[in-house]
Amino acid sequence: MLSNGKFSNDPFKVEGTIDPTTEIGQEVLSQPPATRAELWSYYLYYSGNNGWNFYQFIPTLLQLMSTKGGFNPDKPGHQPCSLSTNDGSACNVPWNGAANGIPVFSVTMYANAISFAAQFLIFITFGSLADYGRFNFYILIISTLISCASQILPIIFLYDDGHSWPGMMVLNIVGLVSYGATLIYYAAAFPTLSDNLPLVRNIRADPNVSVEDTLTVVERWRNHVSAVSTAFSNIGFLVISAIFTGVSFIPWSKGPFFNNGAPVFGNTLAYYCVASLVAGAYMLINAIPYFMCRPIGRRGPPLPKNEHHLTIGWKNSFKALKEAKKYRYLFLYLISYFMFSDGVNAISNFQTFLQNSITNFSATQTAGMGLLSAVTSIIGCFFFLYLQKYFNFSTKTILMTIIILTSVIPIWGCFGIRFDDFGIKTNWELWVLAAWSGLFTGPIWAFQQSCFAELVPRNQENLFFGFFGLVSKASSWIAPTVIGVVTQQTSAIYTGWPVIVALFVLAIVTLWFVDMEAAKLELLHMEIHQELIHNMAAAAMDHQDRSSSPSANENEKVPIIMMELSTEGGSEAGRNY
């Protein structure tokens, strides 16, 4: 067994070289080694692409503008809505010819549903291109630029009276689609980056290291890269929220101010427009180093002949689904992820809307809550990484714990259906929610990614991570749509919480049946099986070419001998086939 030092050593300090004459050595050397610059620029990218703008400023702008442009359906003449959104009065906006329109909350949920549905169609068409050549690199650049633009452009609504809320909704959708693309292609790059850290490369290519120890080292460093990159995302989250928490208190003379509040910058529409612009610029600045430091040699195979850029994604998606069915635990995990990722996204939407409603769009409070979430997210990432490293908890155990603790939030929200002073309905509850969600929803993304990486077949990372993203987008429009319809019919937003509770219950039960150790054996056996088929085909062709040779019978024994090795030699046979 390898010592714990292998997990904590500098991954760039290694001894010895990789033998280029072996099959595994040639495979490892086919990719350039990761450099410190590439690794740290990868972390820095996520610091800029922290998502804070899409969870806070942009949805708040949509909610604020649609509230300013909305009307109260309960008052004669459809009088304008009050920005005092916690006074219990209804606020609707015109929608598809409906006589009384639909609630503003339903608008925000439908915007998310539309964006995730669009992401699903776009990613299923172009997602698999990440497997070939440098398409992953190019798509990440394009989606990053579009994402930055969608964050900067809300500045055009600086003096808007609210009637341009449909335009803000379009920007919100475009921004969410491009942001989702950056997350998928960024995540797809991490297994290759982690596996090509010099220390990991040497372990992978060392024939004297067992399969079990190799998988352990690969898993630990993947978890390390994933957790640290997530922590950097939360650091970026912290930087933006800290800056704009302070900026929100700047005295300001030019109104109007929300609800005739204090004359500070945080009580104006300009605050959110400027904040969105700065967040977009911050993302762009942090993204540039990664695009400069990523090795040119980091690429996949060329696009196959007779394949088209617009159809290969659909073919590969069906292929990934077909392949996933071969790996029962991978398939079960995808089902679980389908549900809990939808639930987590819905919680974020709820949280932002309730913060704005209960605080009456007070940036001095909502930015402070965001700052608290950022701090607790960083604590949560390193806390769970510490638990795993020093107590040797499996990735699945950590993930299951985080999901169960996250499910407390929608259960808590359900009390708001019955009570007026409990169930995420008061100011103090919002602060507790900010801390709780930070501790668990931040780490959940790091460990769900690592858990999935352990279940993915070797050399098919981009195919399955692309499909992984598709599963997320295919599911993430369901909860917003259902919640939007439920709240539209009931005019009570808290009736959406039970939908999220159901998603978490189903996700936890499904994840319970994912056996990670059996899944690793399943992957190993499938690799051996595929290699045997390849060798049998090669032996058959060799037999045809040399049918008259006296050694033909010996050639026919090759696959049989390999089969015996794979069954008698266990994991070592799998290592050296």
CATH code of the domain covering residue 368? 1.20.1250.20
Amino acid occupying residue 463: L
Do 495 and 537 fall into the same domain? no
Q: Residue 281 gets which letter from DSSP? A: H
Q: Give the three-class secondary structure for 492.
A: coil
Residue at a domain's end among 514, 549, 565: 514
Furthest C-alpha separation in the chain: 99
Is residue 506 in some structural domain?
yes
Region of 259 on the Ramachandran plot (φ > 0 left; ψ -120 to 50 alpha; else beta) = left
How large is the average pLDDT for residues 186-213? 86
Do 166 and 312 fall into the same domain? yes
What is the model's pLDDT at position 552? Answer: 43
Do 571 and 468 fall into the same domain? no
Placement of tokens 């920005």 in the chain: 83
Is residue 372 in some structural domain?
yes
Is residue 519 in some structural domain?
no
- Percent of the chain past pLDDT 70, that is, above it, reads 86
Peptide bond into 94 cis (omega under 30): no
Q: How many domains does the chain have?
A: 2
Q: Is residue 543 pLDDT above 90, yes or no? A: no
Strands (E), 199-335: none
Do 169 and 235 fall into the same domain? yes
Do 510 and 531 fall into the same domain? no
How large is the average pLDDT for residues 539-557? 55
pLDDT digits (tens, 9 = 90+) for 226-277: 888 888 987 888 888 889 889 988 998 887 777 666 788 988 889 999 999 9
pLDDT digits (tens, 9 = 90+) for 509-535: 999 999 988 888 877 777 776 677 767
Is residue 521 in some structural domain?
no
Q: Using pLDDT thresholds of 50, 70 and 90, give the confidence band for residue 474.
A: low
What is the model's pLDDT at position 1? Answer: 52
What is the model's pLDDT at position 58? Answer: 93
Do 485 and 571 fall into the same domain? no
Of 139-153, 190-204, 298-312, 344-358, give the lowest mean pLDDT range: 298-312
pLDDT digits (tens, 9 = 90+) for 480-503: 888 888 877 777 788 889 999 999
Of 31-40, 196-205, 444-453, 498-507, give the lowest mean pLDDT range: 444-453
What is the model's pLDDT at position 85? Answer: 55
Do 503 and 550 fall into the same domain? no
Is residue 520 in some structural domain?
no
- Give CA–CA dist 348/129, Å, rounded: 30
How large is the average pLDDT for residues 58-80? 87
Q: Is residue 219 pLDDT above 90, yes or no? A: no
CB 162 within 8 A of CB 94: no
Q: Using pLDDT thresholds of 50, 70 and 90, give the confidence band for residue 575.
A: very low
How large is the average pLDDT for residues 195-199? 89
Identify the domain containing residue 404 by its residue range. 5-514
543 or 214, which is more confident = 214
Strands (E), 121-239: none
